[in-house]
Amino acid sequence: MNSKGQQALRTPPLRASGGIVKRMMQNWELYLFMLPAFVYFAVFHYGPMYGIQIAFKNFIPSKGVFGSEWVGFQHFERFFNSHYFWDLLWNTLSISFYELALGFPLPIILALAFNEISNGYFKKSVQTITYAPHFISIVVMTGMIISFLSPSSGMLIRGLEALGIDAPQFLNDPAWFKTVYVISGVWQNTGWGTIIYLAALSAVDPQQHEAAIMDGASRFKRMLHINLPTIIPTITILLILNTGNILGVGYEKILLLQNSLNLESSDVISTFVYRTGLVSAQYSFSTAVGLFNSIVNALMLITVNQIAKRTSATSLW
Amino acid sequence: MQNKKKGAAVLLSAALVAGLLAGCGTSNDKAKEEAEVEVVVAKEGLPIVNEQISLTLTAPDVGIQNWKDMDVLKEMEKRTNIKMVFNNAPKESFDTKKNLIFSSGEYPDVFYAAGLTPAEQMNYGEQGILIPLEDLIENYAPNVKKVLEDNPEVRKSITAPDGHIYSLPVIEFNQPWYRNPMWYNGDFLKALGYDKLPETTEELYTYLKRVKEEDPNKNGAADEVPLSSVNLRDIRTWLLGAYGIYEEEIYVDDSDVVHYTPVEDGYKEYLIFLNRLWTEDLLDHETFSQTAEQKKAKAQNNQVALFSDWNAYMTLGGEPSMDDPMFLPVKSEKVDKAVIAKSKGVTTGAFAISKTNAYPEASMRWVDYIYGYEGAMLFNKGPEGVLWEYTDRDSLTKKYLPVPGGGDREDYRATLTPNYGIPAPTISIPEIQLGLTTEFDEWVMNESKTKLLDKGSRIPYPTLFLTAEEQAEVTTLTSDLTTYVRQMEAKFITGADTFDNWEKYVATVTKMGGDRMSEIYQAAYDRWKQS
Amino acid sequence: MVKSMRESTSDKLFLAANYLYLALALIVVLYPLIYIVSASISTPKFVNSGEMWLLPKGLTLDGYKLVFSNPKIWNGYGNTLLYTVVGTLLNLAVTLPAAYALSRSDFVGRNFFMAMFLVTMFFNGGLIPLYLTVKNLGLINSIGALILPVAASVWNIIVARTFFHSTIPKELQEAAHMDGCTNLRLFFQIVLPLSAPIIAVMALFYGVSHWNSYFPALIYLNDEMKYPLQMVLRQILVLQEMSAETTGAAISGDIAQAMNNKAEIASLVKYAVIIVSTLPIVALYPFLQRYFVQGVMIGSVKG
């Protein structure tokens, strides 16, 4: 049913092949459905969008967006000419890809695993417990990371020592920073990430399973050939959306884990902007960097979406 | 179900449309209307105005007590006949809120404890949003005027490059510390038989070495951490002094030459010294990664010999103790004596008046009251008879009263006065503390006097204004420079990089604009000196 | 999911491995959670020194006492509940119809709308113009400022669209149309009842973001009585942690002392606050869970 449904989506059904106006009239209610969202995006997103121009201005709050003077690409040049520009770009990209490579598949696997066990006390508790870490604030999260990894008193370090392993300097060694950052993120968000897949898995057609069991397919095979394909559209869409945020590594957690020793691998675009903004409220500069990020992100998303469009049945447009 | 959903959608669009319409009609010219009534502002004495007037005030709020319910502000209203309407924002978002206020064009009459940056003062002053205060000070602020006359360098520090004063400062002359002092663990000193504190870097090294090796905490394990720090920020300035450097970034030497610390030879010596401490495990190896709490936990576990904090007992735990002496700045062989940084004492941007204020004279008199003894006393300690009372009114000697309802005195004070944790416009006058200090306070003051002030501590670089261009350049330069310098500092100290690369490091810093830093600050200093 | 008549050996093995995997995941996740609970009732000294590593040490309830002694806390809970419920209902009312319309291939202009929404994922005018918009709409210091500017998220609309796309059978829509059923009835009487899982997920995603939100409150609210829970908790935390800022500049010794008195509690409160603020929303999850298994209906409708 699924694959058929999607094919139908790609080629408009015969019934609706009349004139555009006729088709619009037929589905006039759908425009009503769009109205609230349309108004919302128009008012709260497109309305304020004139603010982007401050990336090319020297914004002074009291002069306003329109009253501030134009400076052209000055802020962009400053960013590109920074001593650290390439380091920042590399760190941001590598953390993003690392996170994607590790953090993206795990929720899928976990969701599939949840789906295999029957509804009961165990399932409920495991799900609730794995979902809980999502709510731990960044301050507490980083506080825990630092205390678990402290060479003098950290649990994890003492654990490794007990096993006779010489523990690395997790917090000081630049080589370990990204791993610490990504793994702790995975720990915190994998359970939360399963939710969307669990919802998607609820659409699995039981008749397909019954038929497959008749054919003698094993549980594993059914998971691979029935459950997984059901959630493939969701997986694809989420992957596309995630790549559209490739430069979007946030600053809060990194800032709290950053120190002079790991700086060379921990400094990313957002922490750089944060530091610069601290000195004085540099709206223009951070808007310029934000604009750069957006353009790269948008290009990424368009590219990946194009690939998805060619190779699979699902894409954003 | 169906109707509910649809209803919600309709509601939303209706709300949006209504909101749009509501937004169109509002305009305000209220401020001016009130000025119709004839108000006489007294040049001196209280109350300030004959008819009660009302002003709006914006300040950062720490969220303990609603400002309109604070005893101090109620008392102030009674004394001055000026009613303040508070339009505050939470302290943590205050900077954002401040920018939103300037963007929206609806200014409060006065900014209180707003921490206006030099750039903000210049920008908004130049545009006329903040009014110049010199004439008002001259005519309506006897207390401020006197302070500025007695301390010409304060006037220089708060005057913008265009010659106007746009804000009043926080003035604190009684607190000499540039950074929290360092303290020795007294028990360790005793255990190792020290009755004289180390005076040179070598003696300091020897002491730290002995701490490491001779088990002064007598627990049989070599678990002592001789020198502990969080990111070096807390101890850097104190140790740089041993090499003739006043401050970690910019300082002016005795012959009026401005230096950018990270390329100085003395800075290299400092790195070499710390590298030695690191290599021999005398400097805490968790210096770069630990939190302040972790450092404290070590100290309370009786492991740390030397550390920085406001007072020693705050790190070591327990009651205030006079057995843990303050660090005596040490000197290296390179210099005749250690140099010591002293607090600037002046923080600009604490109070400003906006152009929409209908009563600038009254506003100035209002704030001037806080720069006199009576007002400063009121705002610092609350009204008489709540937390304190006079024991001898003539000599201004006071004593503390028991805290109403028990509990912490500071917590209670925070419900009385706005001057809690925010840079409020005020001056610290020695008489305020008369009779209120403890023996421990006296001891700390004496430690500061004998070890810092008497040894010639001075301000490393005065509070002053950079021009807009200078400010912009410094901002651009420091974002990269600071990152590189801090990173290399850690590398040199931990041995991740060797001193063979020092020349290369200096060349890189220079290339990144290190020499511009000293040039810019030199120019600004010369202007300040001449004004 | 489906109970088969008899499990084969390989199936049993697979199930066993599956249980093992989940048990492992459980332990890995559980440990830090226990740590937080223990830390919230332990003497901070033991937490900071690493002596407390699993079970509470030096039992104390001071952290919770401090949080609950704040008079604003219950008011904050009430406000947050209101903002979350109203905000989430609004989110669903905006998101679900839009997502459904976008999922329909016979909807002329869906690419236009999709593009319009996607652009906002990348480009925004920044805080100040948004603030001015909210202000001009007269929403400052009202619930409107907290929920209207976040009435929908592109991300969630797309996720919901994908769900409708891949789970609502095309045949269903055609059959309904054949019967003369309008899109309105189709959506409310057929599509929504079949989409319990995605409604639950959307409600959860939006609800959690309202629950955790503090920044709009920080910017748009002036009246303390309207502060949501997260604002109240942040104020408590910020107050406790002010000591960190006292290093440097001319701050009085009185404050340093006061902060020191609280430094102990500060690290305790951090953990207590986490528990106080997240327990309700974590407890909500098991109730939403049951909606994730209702997809069975689709098969039956189709048949």
A109 shares a domain with A61: no
Strand, coil or helix: what is B151?
coil
Considering only CB atoms, C224 lies closest to which of B66, B310, B317, namely B66
Q: Which of C245, C263, C266, C246 is nearest to C254 (CA)?
A: C246
Percent of chain C with pLDDT over 70: 86
Is A121 a domain residue?
Answer: yes
pLDDT in tens, B392-405: 999 999 999 999 98
pLDDT(C300) > 70: no
Give dist(CA B315, CA B311) in Å, integer.
8
Chain A touched by B221 (CB under 8 Å): no
C249/C102: higher pLDDT: C102
Residue A134 clears pLDDT 80, i.e. is over it: yes
Is pLDDT at B31 greater than 50 in this prediction? no
**Does the CB of C246 have a partner CB in chain B at under 8 Å?**
yes
Q: Are residues A62 and A211 in the same domain?
A: no
Residue C247 has pLDDT above 80, yes or no: no
One domain for residues A202 and A288: yes
Taking the CA of residue A45 and the nearest CA in chain C, the distance in Å comes to 6
**Choosing among A261, A262, A266, A278, which should be mutated to test the B contact, i.e. which has the most B CBs within 10 A?**
A261
Token pair, residue C39, equals 């830390």
A63-100 pLDDT per residue, tens:
889 999 999 999 999 999 999 999 999 999 999 999 99
Q: What mean pLDDT comes out for the span B261-286?
A: 97
Confidence category of residue C261, pLDDT binned at 50, 70, 90: low
Q: How confident is the model at residue A106 (pLDDT cuts 50, 70, 90)?
A: very high
Domain shared by A46 and A127, yes or no: no
Tell me the shortest Cα–Cα distance from B98 to chain C, in angstroms: 10
Interface probe for A, chosen from C6, C12, C30, C166 (most Cβ of A below 10 Å), is: C166
Measured between beta carbons, the chain A residues lying within 8 angstroms of B105 are 62, 64
Q: Which of C96, C244, C258 sits opposite B411 (nearest CB)?
A: C258
Q: What is the pLDDT of residues B417-470, one digit of tens each?
A: 998 888 899 998 888 989 988 999 999 999 999 999 999 999 999 999 999 899
Interchain pair B441, C44: CB under 8 A: no
On whether residue A77 sits in a domain, the answer given is: no
Is B105 a residue whose pLDDT tops 70?
yes
C233 band by pLDDT with thresholds 50, 70 and 90: confident
Residue C247 near chain B (CB below 8 Å): yes
pLDDT over threshold 50, residue B406: yes
Residue B7: which pLDDT band, with cuts at 50, 70 and 90?
A: very low
Nearest CA in chain C to B408: C258
Q: Name residue B449's beta-bridge partners.
A: none
Beta bridge partners of A58: A69
Residue A17 has pLDDT above 70, yes or no: no
Query: Does residue A213 carry a pLDDT above 80?
Result: yes
User: Which of these ranges, B212-226, B408-422, C288-302, has the smallest mean pLDDT?
Assistant: C288-302
Tell me the residues of chain A between 79 and 138 that have a Cβ less than 8 Å away from chain B. 82-84
Q: What is the CA radius of gyration of chain C?
A: 25
Residue B17, chain C, CB below 8 Å: the answer is no
Q: Are B365 and B133 in contact (CB under 8 A)?
A: no
C225 has a pLDDT exceeding 50: yes
Residue C4 — pLDDT band, cuts 50, 70, 90? very low
Using 50, 70 and 90 to split pLDDT, how confident is the model at C244?
very low
Interface of B with C in 492-531 (CB under 8 A): none
Whole-complex ipTM = 0.89
Are A302 and A188 within one domain?
Answer: yes
Segment A186-201 shows an average pLDDT of 93
Architecture label for domain B39-175+346-392: 3-Layer(aba) Sandwich (3.40)
Residue B469: CB partners within 8 Å, gap ≥ 6? none
Query: In this structure, is residue A191 part of a structural domain?
Result: yes
Chain A residues with CB-CB distance to B231 below 8 A: 259-260
Of C101, C124, C130, the CB nearest to A33: C101
Q: Which of residues 100-139 of C touch B (CB under 8 A)?
A: 127-128, 131-132, 135-139
pLDDT of residue A281: 63
Asked whether residue A129 is domain-assigned, the answer is: yes
Q: Is the pLDDT assigned to residue B34 strictly greater than 60? A: no
What is the distance in angstroms between the Cα of C218 and the nearest Cα belonging to chain B? 7
For residue B410, pLDDT beyond 90: no
Cis omega (within 30 of 0) for bond into C149: no
Contact at CB, B90 and C218, closer than 8 angstroms:
yes
pLDDT category of residue B37 using cuts at 50, 70 and 90: low
Q: Over 50: is that where the pLDDT of B33 sits?
A: no
My answer on whether A123 and A262 are in the same domain is yes
Tokens (6 digits) for B316:
């070591």
A116 and A37 share one domain: no
Q: Which of B5, B92, B347 sits opposite C238 (nearest CB)?
A: B92
CB contact under 8 A, A213 and C4: yes
Mutate to test the interface with B, among C65, C189, C239 (most CBs of B within 10 A): C239
- Domain identity same for A181 and A270: yes
Please count the CA atoms within 13 angstroms of the CA of C205 that sit on its side-chain side. 24
Q: What is the mean pLDDT of chain A?
A: 88
**For position C123, what pLDDT does the model report?**
94
**Residue A68 sits in the same domain as residue A100:** no
C187 has a pLDDT exceeding 60:
yes
Residue at A136 is within a domain: yes
pLDDT at A312: 85
The rounded distance, in Å, linking the Cα atoms of C244 and B180 is 12
Q: Is C26 left (phi over 0), alpha (psi -120 to 50) or beta?
A: alpha
Cα(B356)–Cα(C52) distance, rounded to whole angstroms?
57
Q: Is residue A221 part of a domain?
A: yes
Percent share of chain C, pLDDT over 90: 48
Residue B29: predicted pLDDT? 44
Domains with residue ranges and CATH for chain C: 11-60 (no CATH), 61-302 (1.10.3720.10)
pLDDT tens digits for A33-69? 999 999 999 999 999 999 999 999 988 888 889 999 9
Q: Are residues A48 and A195 in the same domain?
A: no
B12: chain C residues, CB-CB within 8 Å: 90, 93-94, 151
Measured between CB atoms, does B298 come within 8 Å of chain A? Answer: yes
CATH number at residue A292: 1.10.3720.10
Of B236-240, B293-297, B331-335, C89-93, the range with the lowest mean pLDDT is B293-297
Q: Do C128 and A51 touch (CB under 8 A)?
A: yes
How far apart CA B139 and CA C187 sit, in angstroms, is 74
Using a 10 angstrom Cβ sphere, with 0-12 exposed, 13-18 middle and 19 or more buried, the burial of residue A196 is buried
Task: Please compute the mean of the pLDDT values over residues C174-184 and round it to a whole number.
Answer: 86
In B75-224, the DSSP E strands lie at 82-86, 89-90, 110-112, 168-171, 182-184
| C-beta of residue A172 within 8 angstroms of C-beta of residue A226 | no
Report yes or no: B273 and B201 within 8 Å, Cβ to Cβ.
yes
CB contact under 8 A, B13 and A78: no
- Tokens 């069991």 correspond to A213
CB pairs under 8 A between A and B: 99
Average pLDDT of chain B is 90
Q: Average pLDDT, stretch C35-47?
A: 90
Of A282, A263, A255, A299, which Cα lies nearest the Cα of A84? Answer: A263
- Mean pLDDT across chain C, nearest whole number? 85
How far apart are alpha carbons B448 and B294 in whole angstroms?
A: 27
Asked if the domains B39-175+346-392 and B182-341+461-530 are classified in one and the same CATH topology, the answer is yes
Could you list the beta-strand ranges (E) of A41-171. Answer: 57-58, 69-70
Optimal mutation site among A219, A228, A242, interface C, most CBs of chain C within 10 A: A219
Least confident of A142-156, B24-38, B482-496, C39-53: B24-38
B13 is written with which tokens?
């669009």
Q: Above 50 in pLDDT, residue C245?
A: no
* Partner-chain residue, chosen from A43, A153, A272, that has the shortest CB–CB distance to B16: A43
A68 with A89, same domain? Answer: no
- Smallest CA–CA separation between C157 and chain B, in Å? 15
Please tell me the distance in Å from A44's CA to the nearest CA on chain C. 6
What's the total number of domains in chain A? 2
- For B19, the closest of C44, C138, C254 (CB atoms) is C138
Do C126 and A283 make contact, defined as CB atoms within 8 angstroms?
A: yes
Report the distance separating Cα C283 and Cα C285, nearest Å: 6
What is the least distance, in Å, from the CA of A298 to any CA of chain B? 27
Q: β-strand B397-400 against A57-58: which pairing, if any?
A: unpaired
Q: Would you state the torsion angle of the CA atoms of residues B101, B105, B106, B112, taken in this order, to the nearest 10 degrees?
A: 50
The rounded percent of chain B whose pLDDT value lies above 90 is 72
Question: What is the side-by-side strand order in the sheet with B182-184?
Answer: B182-184, B304-308, B225-227
Give C-chain residues touching B179 at CB under 8 angstroms: 247-248
Count H helices, E strands: chain C?
Answer: 16, 0
Domain ranges, ordered by start, for chain B: 39-175+346-392, 182-341+461-530
pLDDT for B321 beyond 50: yes
Q: Which listed CATH number (3.40.50.150, 3.40.190.10, 2.170.190.11, 3.30.360.10) goes with B182-341+461-530?
A: 3.40.190.10
Same domain, A31 and A127: no
Checking if the pLDDT of A194 tops 80, the result is yes
User: So what's the pLDDT on residue A197?
Assistant: 94
Note the pLDDT of residue A18: 61
What pLDDT is stored for residue B95 in this prediction?
A: 87
The predicted pLDDT at position A297 comes to 95
How close is the nearest chain C Cα to the Cα of A16, in Å? 7
Strands (E), B147-303: 168-171, 182-184, 225-227, 250-252, 258-260
pLDDT at residue A12 tops 80: no
What distance in Å separates the CA atoms of residue A144 and residue C48, rounded to the nearest whole number? 10
What pLDDT score was predicted for residue C253? 63
Distance, CA of A238 to CA of B424 (rounded, Å) = 50
Chain A neighbours (≥3 Cβ pairs under 8 A) are B, C
Which residue range(s) make up the domain with A57?
A: 19-72
For residue A1, is it within any domain? no
Residue B28 pLDDT greater than 50, yes or no: no
